[in-house]
Chains A and B, each alone.
Chain A
Amino acid sequence: MIREALLVAGKDLRLEWRSKVGLVQIVPFAILVLMLFAFALDPDRGVLERATPGLFWVAVLFSSVLTLQRSFSVEAEDGVLDALRLSGLAPVSIFWGKVAALTAQLLVLEMILAFGVAIFYGTTFHSIGLLVVVALAATVGIAASGAVYGALAARLRSRDTLLPLLMLPLLAPVLISATRGFEIGLERQAGGGWTWAALLAVFALVYLILGSLLFRPLLEDA
């Protein structure tokens, strides 16, 4: 199963590497969002600085939706999803492969965004350990729930408008927890950052299990 999942993940990452859509479209979009926040919130009044954790994660969420759409629209075209089903790969492996590839892509995106906030918002990073764990747990959660809804919306004609509507409310707890985790990690606020990391881990775990169970009916019927 792990070998099959790696195969799917490898295929997705290779595809991204060659097409560079993520690099030339999604990354610039994410940076653009950071700049838009600066235009909307006066940088001289400290609002931007105080809101950095939240703005960072909002930028991640918006870019994630784009990444997801991209990851599944390449499957939906030309009946690739059917080909995947016929390839003899277990649906569970396809799910884990998708999650792995999405996680990798989103982590790269987050690293670039972290540089972005360091440069544009003048953020300095403290408790690196907590920040990394929060980001990792949140990203796996986004990737796992996103793989389920991405596959579900892939064959819908109105997927571009439906996916954000489905994904963003689902990710509300991720936004809350990751933002609070980062606030504590950046030492803006005292408190137990690890509780938030734990909640994010629970979210990720729940959707990894749910996705493993639901991916078969998803591929076959949805």
Chain B
Amino acid sequence: MSHDSHHAPVACKTELAPERSDLGLYRPDRATGWTDWLTTVDHKKIGILYGAFAMLYFLIGGVEALAIRTQLARPDNDFVTARMYNQLFTMHGTTMIFLGVMPLSAAFFNFLVPLQVGARDVAFPRLNAFSLWTFVFGAFVLNASWLFEFGHLAGWFDSFAWHKALVYTDFAPANGWFSYAPLSGTFGANGQALRFTGVGTDFWIIGIQVLGIASLAASFNFICTIINMRAKGMTMMRLPVFTWMALVTSVLIILAFPAITVALIELMFDRAFGANFFNPSAGGQPVLWQHLFWIFGHPEVYILVLPAMGIVSEVLPTFSGKSLFGYPIIVFSGAVIGFLGFAVWSHHMFTTGLGPVPTAAFSLLTMAIAVPTGVKIFNWLGTIWGGRIRFTPPMVLALGFIWMFMCGGFSGVMHSSAPADSQQQDSYFVIAHFHYVLLGGVLLGLMAGLYFWFPKIFGRMPNAPVAYLGSALVILGFNLAFGPMHYLGLAGQPRRTHTYHAGNGWETWNYVATIGAYILGIGVVIVFGNLVWTAFRGKKCGSDPWDGRTLEWSLPSPVPEYNFAQAPVVATRDAFFEHKHGAKKIGLENDGGEAGVHMPSQSWMPMVASAGFLFIGFGMPMMAMGIPHAGWLVISGLGVLFLGIWLWALEGPGGYMLKTPAPSGAPAPAETVAH
């Protein structure tokens, strides 16, 4: 190991003399600017990058949504073609779920989990960087399909021979975010692999596969961090609720993603190599795709919503001036939701004809999962009950979350009844339901989190009046857009249909929904724009502007790269709040803080390894498209991936010492507390 070559402690990493890794290459430890961001292993910088990419994709997904709503504003509209419409709604759903909400949750996990458990970084800093860049490249591959689509529309490909061989020419994914077989699969006997859809589906398959790898790697890392890197005295039942929800979410990811990974492999084999997993002509069962997809897909819903629940569970106590009502029950409910989340997948498939016994069982379990969710809502109400409420921007958004999520929960319980669900299946009622859960619930929760922790991340306060305006527009526009869809769905309007004829009685509410969508769009731009402005120009603030409760608020804003100058020792839940206002509950571990803090070395290798996915991501669809020699691109991608991981292992963890400036990074008095 290379740890005997440490340099003398310095206060700032740019003062370091360059250090060679075990490979003999210089580590980019002293880097600043671009190189620093590209090679960083700091969980805070990785979190910021995750957040920035997530916000970018939220805007792209939002533009897709507005194009959909513009098309539907009027009956028999021709703003986009049916073919384009299919691609828009598919990419809208895929983008929002995999490139918007999940990475934004990952941004919070990255930034907060080590701070909340009292650690200096995650368990595997370079693996964390690998997750980030794998996500970035996977997202790029998925969206690059749009570039091919635009190229096709512009006629750039018309002169290529292989282009004429394509019967179906959708270049961006066009199957819906669930890509049901056989539409996404193949037909024909003996490996003919005739397709219903174009190369967009292949981009979707490989894109989701790569994003899954990113999520899995990140989740292994977070579970390890939460279980193994807690500060002294930070027992599991003293963990902040957000960290608890990060743990449950990560467990869900590592157990649910393998199902979609396998399903994607099978579909890829069908399309690229003529296998018959979902090929009806050869006896393949398309309904198997539905099962595999929803065994992943339903836990995925909780993967999306649990982080937002965790955020709300931090925001509400802070601005009510009370501790969280029923902490153990909230934690237990979160775990039960995660557990039951694996037992309700077939409620997405009531109309496939499962038979009365499975249908009844899945109905029952779906109703049961509403119980822990309801328990959480009542606990949040109990938290604000009798509290001294401060209506700050995060609090407004968190209260909005409770209301909107509750509405989505009510229509969700309606779906759990199989006979009612048969009527609502594939109608706009379902669209209304899951947008209330995912937008009214998750997005409002995540926005609350952004406004809550931005002062910690950047040391600057968001502009409150602009935040109120943005929040109000988001909540108003959202209800205008999706409220009427309950009615439209029950009145029979089908989803995923590019237009509708006049005279069905759907015109008015579709028009209203479109107006609502534009108001929502303006609101989101204001909310995000305010945040971007805050990051660069906001008014500077102290380390604890909200009177926070958990460990991260005990650190300076922005947080120094080593987080804790000395490791904290906590003696209670909400230790920082108690420490400020009552008995001293945070001590400092004497771990030789004077000698300096050991920092992990930065590295290019995680990004090099994940760049392999870029080759694979473009190679696989081209191979399935029948472009000659495209398979070599895939093989070279695997080579790059292997090379990156190999050099990563050989370069060694490295590391350098930073001298901490006095105990300023630590909570006031340095005394040990009995616990």
Tell me whether A and B are bound partners: no
Enumerate chain A interface residues (CB-CB to B < 8 A).
none
Enumerate chain B interface residues (CB-CB to A < 8 A).
none
